[in-house]
Amino acid sequence: MNVQFKGIAVPGLKGKGKEDSLQLKSFGESPNKFRNFEAHFTILNEHVVEKDWLYNLKDYEGDSLESAPKEWISYVESGPDYLDRISYDSQTSGASLHKILASEKEYLRLTRTTQGKFREKLLKEFPSCKVCGLKIKELLVASHIKPWKDCDDEERVDASNGFLLCPSHNALFDSGLITVEDTGDILISELLDKKEYPLLNVREGLGVDVKHKHSKYLKWHRDTVFRDKA
């Protein structure tokens, strides 16, 4: 079998919104008709992928950033918006590639160090999901209130700019489907179907404990990330 490496595929399309990249469609015929999402992917311009990173992706307890390519980390940090900022030049000289790999190693080292310090601070402060109280450390995500891509170096390691969240609540918070008032009350976007509330462990009247130090970051999240209406 002839297999050729093309790059790393990530969800999203350059210049397209989420509604174009992820569409809910119907498949099959009655009575076996069902609905599911159809996703469109972009191949990142990544020439080298280390085997250690592929192993860590498969390892449940592995570090998914360990040995990860710079393009992948940038996408994880910025989401589909990153696709609008990259070019797709598939030609890279050997000398240029060597420089890219050297800079990637330094970038990865700094990223892991920064993220590690940030997570350690949050674990010491409140070692469970801020919303539901989940205490399984391996499942907790060190989530920035003001996203990493929009932060300066100081904000990226400021524990006041973060909550520990379980994967479900982290996804809701990062995507702007929930946000938090300065009082601690959780606001739920009208884009989220109320029928989904029980599955996502959210409800009206839900609140969390927040401090004054979180206020400026929470305001940024409400004004910039939160998607109140369609």
Q: What is the pLDDT of residues 168-187, one digit of tens each?
A: 999 999 999 999 999 999 99
Supply the angle between the helices 70-78 and 94-125 in degrees, to the nearest 10. Answer: 40
Q: Distance between terminal CA atoms of the chain?
A: 47
Per residue in 27-55, pLDDT (tens digit) is 778 777 777 777 788 887 666 677 777 77
Global pTM reads: 0.56
Task: Specify whether the CB–CB gap between 149 and 83 falls below 8 A.
Answer: no
Averaged pLDDT, 53-74: 68
Q: Which residues contact 186 (CB under 8 A, 6 or more apart)?
A: 131, 178, 179, 180, 202, 206, 207, 208
Task: Specify whether the CB–CB gap between 64 and 55 falls below 8 A.
Answer: no
